[in-house]
Amino acid sequence: MGYKINELVALTGLSDNTIRRLEEIGYLRPERNSNNNYRYYTNTDVSKVMLVQTLRKMGFSHSEIKDLLEDSIEGNLSAYHKKIEELDTSIKNLNAKKHLLNDYVRIIESHNNIDNKPFYRLSVSLACTYYEKDNVIFNEPERLNLLHKYINNAPESHIIYCFREKDIKDNVFRYESGWAIKPFLFPTLDSSYNDEFIMKSPYVELVPKRPVLVYYVNLPMNFEESLGPNFTTYKESFLKAAYDYCDEHNMKINGDIIALRILVAADEKLDTQTLLLNVPVGNL
Query: What whole-number distance in Å separates Cα of residue 228 and Cα of residue 179?
Result: 23
**Contact present, 183 and 127 (Cβ < 8 Å):** yes
All domains of the chain, ordered by start, with CATH? 5-70 (1.10.1660.10), 115-283 (3.20.80)
Amino acid at 97: K
pTM: 0.70
Look at residue 101 and give its three-state secondary structure: helix
**Contact present, 68 and 60 (Cβ < 8 Å):** yes
Give pLDDT tens digits along the chain (284 positions).
588 889 989 999 999 899 999 999 989 888 887 777 788 888 998 999 999 999 999 999 999 999 999 999 999 999 999 999 999 988 988 888 888 788 778 767 765 544 568 989 999 999 999 999 988 999 999 999 999 999 988 888 899 999 999 999 888 888 999 999 999 888 888 888 888 888 889 999 999 999 999 998 888 777 666 666 666 777 778 899 999 999 999 999 999 999 999 887 776 666 788 889 999 999 98
Query: What whole-number distance in Å separates Cα of residue 133 and Cα of residue 260?
Result: 16
**Contact present, 162 and 176 (Cβ < 8 Å):** yes
Residue 199 CA to chain centroid, in angstroms? 23
Nearest to 100 by CA among 46, 157, 43: 157
Query: What whole-number distance in Å separates Cα of residue 241 and Cα of residue 251?
Result: 13
